[in-house]
Copies of this chain bind each other. A is one copy, B any other.
Amino acid sequence: MYNFRTDLALERRDIFKKINNTDNIDGIESSVNKVSDSIIVEKVKVTNKNGEKAIEKPIGEYITIDVKKMRNIDEDEIQKIADTLKDELKGLINKHVDKKGEILVVGLGNLNSTPDSLGSKVMQEIDVTRHIFKYLPQYVSDEDREVSAISPGVLGTTGIETLEILKGIVDNIKPKLLIVVDSLASKSINRISSSIQLSDTGIIPGAGVGNKRKEISKNTLNVPVIAIGIPTVVELATLVSDGIDIFIDNLQDKAKSNDYLNNLKENDKYEEVKEALNIGDYNMIVTPKEIDELIENMKNVVARGINFAL
């Protein structure tokens, strides 16, 4: 079992390949589709138990939309990425519910902490219709779908596990499908705000920042769960450890290999690094200084993608 420290299936696949020095993994299928000069869609399918074990992600489909960095993106590009998201999302939705199946959109994370605010911000932009079906049915047509949305908050503020809150709501209002939006942690800085991962296997909130919460998925809620996640942070320990790996590689080339260095590479350097940097009790995250602008742009992309798909 590796310590992947990333929520992205394609990063996990690459780590597994590198460590095992292989180009093929039984149970993992990949395909790449270039939508435009700036948008690439990569699909990773986990097809059997072996694949599941390899990258520690359940059997299912993981779609990653890669885009150029979102900082100075214009209206046109937001629209193009939202369209791509809409297409992929529609594909996943249609696999699990029919055109009328009620959907609950869940925005995870903490509105007051910029790098973790994506889910809550998207949730506020969702065009909800469920109450119109109930109170003003004359305003909806046969084409419309019941959509509701909720932002359950975070454990530190509510004292309640997100899964517990959702379980209560799902049992009570009985949607046919959940779409869960969350900020993710990735392993690599240049994926921050540049990748959108979709999957139909649910989500484990906080998995990427060593803050694991209970899984939100069909296993725990009895309805299919589509997760949409965008990396907004890298965990500090991950980054420092990667930095030291690269550093040791350089050392081995330039300073001549020796047994100590060889040994080092095989051990987990996280604890040592953590101690050396005096990181202490806090869970440190690495994020761009401009994260507020990036979140604003990502919010627009994801909210439009979802609203168009529904």
Interface residues of A (CB under 8 A from B): 69, 75, 110-116, 123-124, 128-132, 146-153, 155-161, 164-165, 167-173, 188-190, 192, 209, 211, 236, 239-240, 242-244, 246-247, 250-251, 254-256, 258, 260-261, 272-273, 276-293, 304
27 CB < 8 A contacts A-B: A110-B292, A111-B111, A123-B157, A131-B155, A131-B156, A148-B158, A148-B160, A149-B159, A150-B160, A150-B165, A160-B169, A160-B173, A164-B169, A165-B172, A189-B278, A240-B243, A243-B243, A243-B277, A244-B244, A244-B247, A256-B258, A256-B260, A283-B288, A283-B289, A284-B287, A284-B289, A285-B288
CB distance from A10 to the nearest CB of B (A): 16
Residue of B nearest to A112 (CB): B292
Interface of chain A, helix or strand or loop or mixed? helix
CB distance from A105 to the nearest CB of B (A): 9
Q: Would A289 and B189 be within 8 Å (CB), given that A149-B158, A173-B168, A243-B277 are in contact?
A: no
Given A148-B159, A189-B282, 8 other A-B residues pairs in contact with their CB atoms under 8 A: A69-B282, A123-B157, A128-B159, A149-B157, A149-B159, A150-B165, A164-B169, A282-B289
Report how far A280 CA is from B234 CA in the complex, Å. Answer: 14
Whole-angstrom CA separation of A229 from B270 in the bound complex:
31
Q: Are A239 and B236 in contact (CB under 8 A)?
A: yes
Closest B residue to A289 using CB positions: B283
> Using Cβ atoms and an 8 Å threshold, which residues of chain B touch A292?
110, 112-113
Give every chain B residue within 8 A of A250 (Cβ-Cβ).
272, 276
Q: Which residue of B lies closest to A210 (CB)?
A: B289
Smallest beta-carbon distance A97→chain B, Å: 17
Known A189-B282, A288-B284; judge A150-B150 contact (CB<8 A): no
Quick one: closest B residue to A111, CB to CB? B111
Asked whether A276 and B246 contact (CB < 8 A) given A113-B291, A156-B293, A240-B239, the answer is yes
Q: How far is the CA of A38 from the CA of B263 in the complex (A)?
A: 42
Query: Inside 8 A of A158's CB, which chain B residues have their CB?
Result: 128, 148-150
Q: Are A289 and B209 in touch, CB under 8 angstroms?
A: yes
Which of A169, A170, A281 has the largest number of chain B CB atoms within 10 A?
A169
Which partner residue on chain B sits nearest A113 by CB separation?
Answer: B292
Closest to A284 in B: B286
Of B146, B167, B243, B247, which contacts A172 at CB under 8 A? B167
For the complex, give the distance between the alpha carbons of A124 and B296 in Å. Answer: 11
What 5 A-B pairs have minimum CB-CB distances, sorted nearest first?
A168-B168, A128-B159, A130-B159, A148-B159, A255-B260
8 Å CB contact of A153 from B151, B164, B279, B283: B151
Q: Are B130 and A112 in contact (CB under 8 A)?
A: no
| Given known A-B contacts A151-B153, A242-B277, A112 and B131 have beta carbons under 8 A apart | no
User: What residues of chain B lie closer than 8 Å to A276, measured between beta carbons?
Assistant: 243, 246-247, 250
Q: A192's closest neighbor in chain B, by CB?
A: B282
Residues of B within 8 A of A168 (CB): 165, 167-173
